[in-house]
């Protein structure tokens, strides 16, 4: 099968959607399919062989974060060339109502089209504004996927229609088999607690975590908080907030995939203090796969990943005091940690790419059979008189 995948966000500063696209493409390739990914990326950015850079992206505030996207006539021409060269059996667009490559590809293409929706928001002005513009193109979509029930609800309420829920994938064994790193391994008296996320995005919850540091250190003076992620401004602000306690918080900066797996396999607890805008919680699944006990904010998406508390422990969203109390309860109860880690090790198997890829392929096969044609350029996407 020849599969074209469009990612709306730039690979210059990759995040969750980009990693999802990358891992899906590689999982499909391992099964023998031919895959090409179109995504924003500068020409000098190192990218995999299967990725076609669509040019420089522009930072735009979206969903409580800064997303790097690309749009306009130059990008449209690149989409047309990529579609013509690809001769795809199926086109898979991610976030097609985001003003970036996915929206352009949906407008330009026709044929078997699958769309995946990642965003989960209670209210989205951006989606409400974009919907009238993209409504005619949305009719081209043959099948819709949402990465979680929260993302499906956002789609239904803001865009209309429905979707099958297929979760984000994780290479479970990569994390389960990762060797612990002695630098990050704790002891009963000096446990280690990890956080991964963009440090300069408030919704990722770093201020919630820093607010819980002092009570934990009162009970465990040797505890260490390991904070990984980009965002110098967020790290500096956290250090200033912590004051004399800053020595117990180690800022690791950006880390590689291999380092992330080793970090999560080393620590006693992984903390996810996000305050909103999360549709799934991929890092929770990674931590669960690596054998770390998970403590997460009580977001709906996180509760579902944690099987309503059986695979991890939750605390009240945005409440540093409750986070501290929950951390102390988890750190002080080895049986609770063992019970949740054991349940998590079984629960994560449904998120392994071996399972998720099969579900995505079933959608591809369905839309290809129903379309009876290949992906092609939609002649209606050209202005009158514009050459083909």
- The secondary element (H helix, E strand) that includes residue 303 is helix 300-305
Task: Characterize the bridge pairing of strands 376-377 and 109-110.
Answer: antiparallel
Q: Band the pLDDT of 10: cuts 50, 70, 90.
A: confident
Task: Characterize the bridge pairing of strands 90-94 and 58-62.
Answer: unpaired
Query: In this structure, are residues 279 and 154 in contact, taking their beta carbons and an 8 Å threshold?
Result: yes
Distance CA(258)–CA(120), nearest Å, equals 28
User: Sign of the C-alpha dihedral, residues 361, 364, 370, 376?
Assistant: negative
Q: Tell me the domains of the chain and their CATH numbers.
A: 2-169+352-381 (3.40.50.2000), 172-349 (3.40.50.2000)
- pLDDT over 80 (residue 305): yes
- CB environment 254-274: b (16+ within 10 A), e (fewer): ebeeeebbbbbbbbbbbbbbb
Query: In this structure, are residues 297 and 273 in contact, taking their beta carbons and an 8 Å threshold?
Result: yes
- pLDDT over 50 (residue 66): no
The stretch 10-38 carries a mean pLDDT of 92
Query: Can you give 341-373 as a three-state secondary structure string?
Result: HHHHHHHHHHHEHHHHHHHHHHHHHHHHHHHCC
The stretch 142-162 carries a mean pLDDT of 90
Select the more confidently predicted residue: 142 or 157.
142
- The pLDDT > 90 percentage for the chain reads 72
Dihedrals φ, ψ of 246, to 5°? -60, -25
By three-state DSSP, how is residue 38 classified? strand
Q: Band the pLDDT of 331: cuts 50, 70, 90.
A: very high
State pTM to two decimals: 0.87
Q: How far is CA 361 from CA 109, 161, 241, 317, 367, in A?
A: 20, 21, 48, 36, 10
Render pLDDT for 67-118 as a digit per residue (tens, 0 to 9).
Answer: 555 666 778 888 999 999 999 999 999 999 887 889 999 999 999 999 999 9
């Amino acid at each position: 099968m020849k599969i074209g995948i469009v990612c709306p966000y730039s690979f210059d500063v990759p995040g969750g959607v980009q990693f999802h696209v990358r891992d899906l493409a590689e999982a499909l390739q391992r099964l023998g399919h031919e895959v090409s990914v179109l995504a924003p990326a500068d020409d000098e950015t190192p990218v995999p062989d299967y990725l076609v850079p669509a040019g420089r992206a522009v930072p735009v505030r979206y969903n409580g974060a800064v997303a790097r996207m690309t749009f306009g006539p130059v990008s449209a021409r690149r989409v047309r060339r990529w579609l013509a060269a690809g001769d795809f059996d199926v086109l898979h667009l991610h976030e097609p109502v985001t003003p970036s490559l996915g929206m352009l590809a949906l407008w330009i293409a026709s044929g078997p089209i699958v769309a995946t929706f990642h965003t989960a928001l209670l209210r989205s002005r951006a989606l409400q504004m974009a919907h009238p513009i993209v409504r005619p193109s949305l009719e081209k979509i043959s099948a819709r996927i949402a990465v979680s029930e929260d993302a499906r609800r956002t789609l239904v309420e803001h865009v209309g229609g429905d979707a099958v829920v297929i979760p984000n994938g994780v290479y479970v064994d990569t994390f389960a088999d990762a060797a612990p790193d002695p630098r990050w391994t704790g002891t009963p008296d000096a446990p280690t607690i990890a956080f991964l996320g963009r440090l300069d995005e408030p919704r990722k919850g770093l201020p919630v975590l820093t607010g819980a540091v002092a009570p934990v250190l009162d009970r465990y003076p040797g505890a260490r908080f390991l904070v990984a992620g980009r965002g110098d401004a967020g790290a500096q602000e956290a250090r200033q907030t912590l004051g004399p306690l800053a020595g117990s918080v180690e800022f690791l900066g950006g880390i590689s995939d291999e380092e992330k797996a080793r970090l999560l396999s080393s620590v006693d607890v992984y903390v996810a203090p996000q305050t909103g805008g999360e549709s799934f919680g991929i890092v929770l699944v990674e931590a669960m796969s690596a054998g770390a006990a998970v403590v997460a904010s009580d977001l709906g998406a996180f509760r579902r990943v944690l099987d309503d508390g059986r695979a991890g422990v939750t605390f009240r969203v945005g409440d540093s005091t409750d986070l501290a109390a929950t951390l102390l309860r988890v750190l002080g109860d080895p049986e609770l940690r063992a019970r949740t880690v054991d349940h998590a090790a079984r629960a994560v198997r449904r998120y392994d790419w071996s399972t998720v890829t099969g579900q995505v392929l079933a959608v591809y096969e369905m839309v290809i059979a129903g379309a009876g044609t290949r992906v092609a350029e939609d002649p209606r996407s050209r202005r009158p008189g514009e050459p083909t």
